[in-house]
Structure 1
Amino acid sequence: MDDAAYNELVSSLTPYEEAGGVKTYTNTVSLACPACEEPFDDLVVCRDEFDSLELSKVMDLCVSTHDGNVLLFTHQ
């Protein structure tokens, strides 16, 4: 994902939580996922080389990258 697309995406989302190298945004405007083109629920940005996620529910994930960061798009 290029810088312009990433900046446009993040500016349209609502910041939710930041812990360590993981930042989460909520999709309150039903933007389409860049991978599958369906609306996604949250964007999880993993900035560190290694991150651990503890998922409290089963969900589908789409994955992309930006500037060396892993971008996870969640679908519940």
Structure 2
Amino acid sequence: MEDVDFDELVASLTLREENQSVKSYQNTVAVACPACGEPFDDLVVCQENPTSLDLTMQLDLCVGTVDDQAVIFTHKQ
């Protein structure tokens, strides 16, 4: 994730949820995932350590870190 301007990436996304544990953004403009190069559906930024995520569907995940926070790019199957 060193090659990615994270602030620029997030500016292209739509904030959907923010709480003490996570921030969740929706990718409404088909931005490519920095890990795999495919458009991702959502970006989840884990703000607490540890953080638990309840997944309601099966997803492919790409994971990285930014400023010591885990970031998860979801891909719906």
| TM-score, L = length of structure 2 | 0.92
CA deviation string 1:5-55 (max 9, x = no partner): 100000000000112220000000000000000000000000111100000
Cα distance in 1 for partners of 2:7, 2:19 equals 20
Identity among equivalent pairs (%): 55
Matches within 5 A, 1:21-32: 21-32=21-32
SS of equivalent to 1:53: coil
Cα distance in 1 for partners of 2:7, 2:18 equals 18
When the two chains are superposed, the root-mean-square deviation of aligned CA atoms in Å is: 1.4
Cα distance in 2 for partners of 1:19, 1:61 equals 21
Runs of 4+ aligned residues of structure 1 deviating over 2 Å after TM superposition are none
Cα distance in 2 for partners of 1:47, 1:16 equals 15
Cα distance in 1 for partners of 2:72, 2:59 equals 11
**How many residues of Structure 1 are paired with residues of Structure 2 in the alignment?**
76
Aligned to 1:11: 11
Which amino acid in the other structure matches residue 24 of structure 1?
S
Unaligned 5+ segments in structure 2 are none
Cα distance in 2 for partners of 1:55, 1:43 equals 13
